Amino acid sequence: MAPTTAYDTFLDKQIKNGKPRIAVEEATAIRELFKGIETPQQAAVRYTSVVTSATKRKDVEANLKGIWLLMENLGARFPEHHDKLTSLMQAIIALPDMMLGSERIIQWSELPFMKEMWADEGWDNPPTDRINRAAFEAMLYSKDILITSYNGYEILAETFEYSPSSSSQLDSESSKKLDVDIQRAERWIANAGEKLFGCTDFYENSRFERVPGLFKGPKGFNRKRWAFWKQRAEEMSSWRELKSESRDACSRIGEAMEKIEGEVW
């Protein structure tokens, strides 16, 4: 008998008393995908079967929300499987539209309800879940799935513009918050930094208008803002009030941003 994995335990709990409870087929799709038994395309058909087998619109919508919530929870808990979850999302987008009678009610490429389901950042979630979710979102963004550059800009701004200006201003609470924010920022730079830096989408760049913060330059995303974030990361790498993992992460962020600049410019 194969040993029980952490995701087996999680999925079993979701089947028995999850909110909402998930169908066996959803759980089976994830198990088979993670174990390499099913391809992403096969898993996509099985994973969405709870939606495509529904015969009423309200059930279709409820089940859609359920599979997106499960996807979010999986991304937050199992970062070692982000690659497979991203491949699953790519396969779901490629599924044929769903018809209910003569009406097309799902265009999978649009990922209906998913943006609304993921709008809540989940501030009350455990720090590790929030860090893993940021990594998953960045990976999805790198593959042009759902997430926009705005998500990454927000996290980088929160970390480097809306944190204390010097280490002397840190207290226990702000240190804990900054430790988490730095880890989230690193995941975005590692998984999608080059794409963020090269984003030329005028709408995405201009709607990012966080003010006022430590950055005193022009609104929106721009190269001056990127340089400011890099400078702040380099400064924070020497803040002894932060955890060593956070200081190391700041060093990696600064190095990665420097490398991206050299490759893109």
Residues 98 and 51: beta-carbon distance below 8 Å: yes
**pLDDT at residue 150 in the model:** 85
Put simply, whether the predicted model's pTM sits higher than 0.75 gets the answer yes
Q: How far apart are the first and last CA of the chain?
A: 54
Please tell me the distance from the alpha carbon of residue 128 to that of residue 137, in angstroms, as a whole number: 14
* Bond prior to 20 in cis (omega within 30° of 0): yes
Q: Which candidate, 61, 60, 10, places its Cα nearest to that of 31?
A: 10
Please tell me the distance from the alpha carbon of residue 159 to that of residue 152, in angstroms, as a whole number: 11
Cα atoms found within 13 Å of the Cα of residue 159, Cβ hemisphere only: 35
Q: Using one digit for the tens of pLDDT, what is the confidence trace for 180-219? A: 999 999 999 999 999 999 887 766 767 777 667 899 888 8
Q: Using one digit for the tens of pLDDT, what is the confidence trace for 91-113? A: 999 999 999 988 999 999 999 99
Question: Which SS3 state, helix, strand or coil, does residue 49 take?
Answer: helix
Structure tokens given for 79 = 């970062």
Please tell me the distance from the alpha carbon of residue 262 to that of residue 194, in angstroms, as a whole number: 11
pLDDT at 42 over 90: yes
